[in-house]
Amino acid sequence: MQTYNLFRSRVQDIVCCPVPEDRAVPSFLTGTTWEFCGKLEQPRAAPVGFDADAATCGVRFNGFYLFQDYSAP
């Protein structure tokens, strides 16, 4: 699996946006409504709701992937 930089919405904390480590961070993530919350390096460490196949497809078309983290409180 590819390494992702993981960002979480400060408005809706269940919304996450992983961006591949080797890609530029989209400008919407650099504002005050998103925060960096770590790296995602192993599939078993991924938040509930992360889908590696969907992430690959989303990144190919958009440069990022959005998903809901169902493990968030």
Domain that holds residue 42: 4-68
Reading the chain (73 residues) residue by residue, the pLDDT tens digits are: 789 999 999 999 899 999 999 999 999 998 899 999 999 988 788 889 999 999 999 999 998 899 999 886 6
- Residue 41 inside a domain? The answer is yes
- Residue 52 inside a domain? The answer is yes
pTM assigned to the model:
0.89
- Residue 73 inside a domain? The answer is no
Which long-range contacts does 33-38 make (Cβ < 8 Å, 24+ apart)?
A: 33/9, 34/7, 34/8, 34/9, 34/10, 35/7, 35/8, 35/10, 36/5, 36/6, 36/7, 37/6, 37/7, 37/8, 38/6
- Residue 57 inside a domain? The answer is yes
Count of domains for the chain: 1
